[in-house]
């Protein structure tokens, strides 16, 4: 825990340090380290056991149409996305260990 003083310097207030370093939960997950053969159907099948999915997208090269090795999975609920992140991070999918994290906003 970190203590900071307020502007009037009379009373310090407590700043929870845990909140400073955690990323807020989201319904959208980034999935990296995908095999170039992994398609959206395979990605959806792997993640749908953890909750209802809104959208699955494997990012592909515009010219060749081949996968760039990453994608996104969006769930209906934050709790489902959090469970999927915990269960699927560093798991084997199509012969590769995938990395799962919350997707950046924007």
| Total domains present in the chain | 1
Is residue 20 assigned to a domain? no
**CATH code for the domain of 96:** 3.30.70.330
Is residue 58 assigned to a domain? yes
The pLDDT tens digits of the residues spanning 28-80 come to 999 999 999 999 999 999 999 999 999 999 999 999 999 999 999 999 999 99
pLDDT band at 24 (very low <50, low <70, confident <90, very high): low
Domain residue limits at 71 = 26-102
pLDDT band at 105 (very low <50, low <70, confident <90, very high): low
pTM: 0.76
Is residue 3 assigned to a domain? no
**Cβ-proximal residues to 75 (8 Å cutoff; 6+ apart), any chain:** 27, 28, 29, 50, 51, 52, 53, 54, 81, 84
Q: Give the residue, 17 or 68, on which the prediction is more confident.
A: 68
């Amino acid at each position: 825990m970190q203590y900071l003083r307020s502007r009037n310097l009379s009373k310090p207030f407590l700043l929870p340090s845990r909140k400073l370093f955690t990323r807020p939960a989201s319904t959208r997950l980034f999935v990296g380290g995908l095999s170039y053969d992994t398609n959206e159907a395979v990605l959806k099948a792997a993640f749908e056991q953890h909750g209802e999915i809104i959208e699955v997208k494997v990012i592909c090269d515009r010219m060749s149409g081949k996968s760039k090795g990453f994608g996104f999975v969006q769930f209906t609920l934050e709790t489902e996305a959090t469970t999927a992140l915990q269960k699927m991070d560093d798991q084997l999918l199509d012969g590769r260990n995938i990395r799962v994290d919350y997707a950046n906003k924007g």
